[in-house]
């Protein structure tokens, strides 16, 4: 018989929301702790950080912990909300259309594009599986109504854990091609979620019940559905839907490419790697990139613009793209003169500051626009200019005798964060320009219901590059992320649909290579800091990928810009 003395019946908890210590019963749940302390936040509490790890409100406390309650206005809280919304959607589809599977494809228009697929044994009816179901408005309305019913019933969402072999069998019976996800984790036991008779797997915590969902919408979108989610700053209202037709086309193009590669999910990728097909995947993915860049160069050569603008968010691969495009333009008989807008930064002391008094390097006025415009107009008029070089160590613009005068067959290629913003060269006719938006849009999902945020690939790239080449720790890079994201949201994303063409620099094998580089860097982040929350999330995410060697990656690959071994100079 276990004897517990009075001192062991309680634990000390530090609540970061109130900045107070509390003696509470050992084994208390987070939701009980919230009620006991009377925690109130601007929006409903939906999860918590326990020693900087995200936990659901049913989590039990047995040892002294630091606890911080979260609502949907926090990044971790919103992710938990959206995952739970996805489970409610999956359950509704399963109940109404048991012969169909839901697939959450990718984010678009500030929501998530989803499709329906036949859930039929290939040996039973292979013909019917060739064509996906036709999604109608009536179907979408029925699914939304069932979601509202599930939410109104406030169904408990239970986290369960069983032997991996048992879980594999359970999911193999319900879903197709999901089992190797559990195998990749290499754990003897696996966790999954149950809501009534419906089971599903998610990479992190969910909300305690379906009743926590109170803001969403579902509508017909293209040949599928658009799941609309709450606004991240004000989760009581929906995000404003934005038109992203060009972005959607790029996602669809990469879905077609994945079919050529016969890769649908991470599980398919891992199986291919275990079958020693990773080198083949690398060659095909790199060839598809090269073909796309050549097509863009051909379009530029046909139009013969005066200026080619290349923009994209941080770590999207703009620099490598401009260098590879330069080669293809030369093949087409076009002489490219590549300029970086980074060389036109104002001196650091003149950099604008954000609301916290910190230098805002993403702000458009961090660029010396009058000087930039003057030099561009001089070049277009046939004058010779003395090009600047920005010394990032000193934070000053310097001149090193780099002269440029455009020839008849020359085209200016301007690469930079703000290159698509019309304000940088407002007097240049749109007919004289060709605009390219470079991004790193994740081209693979973990499984049908677990998508990979498009920001993760760029964040991992940046963590590896900053560590290897700029002397920044993962903690420092993660700490700067909110500022970078704010800048991109304000100065980059609003102009992406202005592009004549979009290019996706992501590679289907990229996470499997970044894994080797990123894991030891992320493991250096201390467990007692705020940045550990994100580091821990990324480490858990990388567990799903089988690592592959990088020796077959060519020296001109976009990935080389971040992991090293590039034949380009940066």
54-88 tens-digit pLDDT: 999 999 999 999 999 999 999 999 999 999 999 99
Q: Which two tokens stand for residue 142?
A: 């029925």
Place of tokens 């420092």: 476
Is 24 buried (19+), middle (13-18) or exposed (0-12) by CB count in 10 A? buried
Q: What are the extents of the domains in the chain?
A: 6-71, 245-563
3 state DSSP class of 321: helix
pLDDT for the residue numbered 4: 41
3 state DSSP class of 40: coil
Split at pLDDT 50, 70, 90, the class of 179 is low
pLDDT for the residue numbered 320: 96
Split at pLDDT 50, 70, 90, the class of 1 is very low
pLDDT for the residue numbered 517: 97
pLDDT for the residue numbered 2: 35
d(CA 565, CA 570): 12
Split at pLDDT 50, 70, 90, the class of 260 is confident
pLDDT for the residue numbered 132: 83
CATH fold of 245-563 reads Rossmann fold (3.40.50)
297, 328 contact by CB (below 8 A): yes
Closest CA to 175 of 146, 157, 199: 199
3 state DSSP class of 336: strand
Mention every residue, 6+ apart, whose C-beta is less than 8 A from residue 426: none
pLDDT for the residue numbered 353: 87
3 state DSSP class of 65: strand
Q: Which two tokens stand for residue 330?
A: 């030369």
3 state DSSP class of 532: helix
pLDDT for the residue numbered 442: 82
Distance set, CA 481 to CA 231, 251, 394, 491 (Å): 19, 24, 23, 15
382-418 burial code (b ≥16 CB/10 A, e <16): eeebebbebeeeeeebeeeeeebebeeeebbbbbbbb
pLDDT of 365 above 60:
yes
Question: 315-343: per-residue pLDDT in tens?
Answer: 999 999 999 999 999 999 999 999 999 99
d(CA 558, CA 62): 47
Distance set, CA 46 to CA 158, 183, 198, 251 (Å): 15, 30, 22, 31
46, 15 contact by CB (below 8 A): no
pLDDT for the residue numbered 540: 93
d(CA 287, CA 284): 5
Split at pLDDT 50, 70, 90, the class of 5 is very low
Backbone CA torsion sign across 258, 264, 266, 270: negative
Split at pLDDT 50, 70, 90, the class of 187 is confident
pLDDT of 565 above 90:
yes
3 state DSSP class of 73: coil
pLDDT of 103 above 60:
yes
Closest CA to 263 of 520, 545, 540, 34: 545
Residue % of the chain over a pLDDT of 90: 78
d(CA 173, CA 193): 16
Provide long-range contacts, Cβ within 8 A and 24+ apart, for 333-337.
333/301, 333/409, 334/297, 334/300, 334/301, 334/304, 334/409, 334/411, 335/407, 335/409, 335/410, 335/411, 336/308, 336/410, 336/411, 336/412, 336/413, 337/404, 337/406, 337/410, 337/411, 337/412, 337/413
Residue spans of beta strands (DSSP E) within 433-478 = 433-439
Split at pLDDT 50, 70, 90, the class of 186 is confident
Mean pLDDT of the chain: 92
531, 463 contact by CB (below 8 A): no
CATH fold of 6-71 reads Ubiquitin-like (UB roll) (3.10.20)
389, 400 contact by CB (below 8 A): yes
Distance set, CA 286 to CA 22, 46, 293, 296, 517 (Å): 56, 42, 11, 16, 20
Closest CA to 414 of 478, 404, 399: 404
């Amino acid at each position: 018989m276990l004897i517990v003395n009075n001192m062991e019946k309680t634990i000390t908890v530090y609540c970061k929301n109130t900045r107070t210590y509390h003696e509470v019963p050992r084994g208390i749940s987070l939701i009980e702790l919230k009620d006991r302390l009377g925690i109130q936040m601007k929006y409903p509490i939906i999860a918590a950080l326990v020693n900087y790890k995200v936990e659901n409100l049913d989590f039990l406390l047995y040892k002294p912990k630091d606890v911080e309650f979260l609502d949907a206005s926090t990044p971790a809280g919103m992710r938990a909300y959206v995952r739970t919304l996805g489970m409610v959607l999956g359950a509704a589809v399963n109940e109404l259309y048991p012969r169909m599977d839901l697939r959450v494809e990718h984010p678009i228009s500030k929501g998530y594009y989803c499709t329906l697929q036949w859930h039929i044994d290939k040996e039973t009816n292979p013909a019917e599986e060739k064509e996906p179901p036709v999604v109608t408005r009536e179907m979408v309305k029925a699914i939304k109504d069932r979601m509202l019913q599930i939410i109104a019933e406030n169904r408990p969402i239970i986290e369960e854990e069983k032997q991996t072999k048992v879980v594999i069998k359970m999911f193999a019976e319900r879903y197709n091609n999901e089992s190797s996800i559990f195998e990749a984790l290499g754990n003897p036991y696996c966790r999954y979620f149950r809501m009534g008779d419906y089971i599903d797997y998610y990479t992190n915590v969910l909300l305690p019940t379906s009743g926590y969902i109170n803001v969403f919408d579902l509508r017909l979108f293209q040949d599928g559905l658009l799941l609309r989610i709450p606004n991240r700053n004000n989760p009581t209202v929906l995000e404003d839907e934005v038109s992203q037709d060009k972005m959607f086309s790029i996602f669809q193009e990469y879905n077609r490419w994945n079919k050529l590669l016969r890769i649908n999910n991470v599980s398919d990728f891992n199986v291919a790697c275990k079958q020693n097909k990773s080198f083949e995947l690398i060659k095909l993915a790199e060839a598809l990139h090269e073909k796309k860049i050549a097509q863009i160069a051909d379009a530029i050569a046909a139009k013969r613009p005066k200026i080619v603008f290349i923009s994209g968010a941080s770590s999207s691969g703009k620099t490598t793209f401009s260098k590879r495009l330069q080669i293809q333009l030369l093949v087409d008989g076009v002489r490219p003169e590549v300029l970086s807008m980074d060389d036109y930064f104002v001196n650091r002391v003149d950099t604008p500051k954000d609301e916290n008094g910190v230098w805002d390097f993403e702000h458009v006025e961090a660029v010396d626009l009058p000087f930039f415009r003057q030099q561009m107009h001089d070049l277009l008029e046939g004058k010779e200019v003395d090009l600047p070089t920005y010394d990032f160590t000193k934070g000053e613009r310097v001149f090193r005798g780099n002269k440029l005068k455009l020839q008849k067959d020359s085209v200016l290629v301007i690469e930079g964060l703000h290159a698509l913003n019309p304000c940088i060269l407002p007097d240049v006719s749109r007919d004289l320009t060709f605009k390219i938006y470079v991004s790193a849009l994740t081209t693979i999902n973990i499984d049908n219901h677990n998508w990979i945020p498009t920001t993760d690939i760029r964040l991992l790239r940046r963590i590896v590059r900053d560590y290897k080449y700029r002397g920044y720790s993962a903690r420092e890079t993660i700490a700067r992320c909110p500022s970078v994201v704010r800048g991109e949201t304000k100065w980059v994303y609003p102009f992406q649909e202005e592009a004549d063409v979009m290019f996706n620099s992501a590679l289907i094998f990229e996470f499997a290579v970044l894994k080797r580089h990123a894991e030891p860097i992320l493991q250096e982040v201390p467990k007692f800091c705020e940045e550990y929350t994100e580091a821990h999330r990324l480490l858990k995410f990388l567990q799903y990928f089988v690592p592959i060697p990088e020796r077959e990656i060519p020296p001109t690959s976009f990935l080389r810009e971040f992991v090293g071994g590039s034949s380009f100079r940066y």
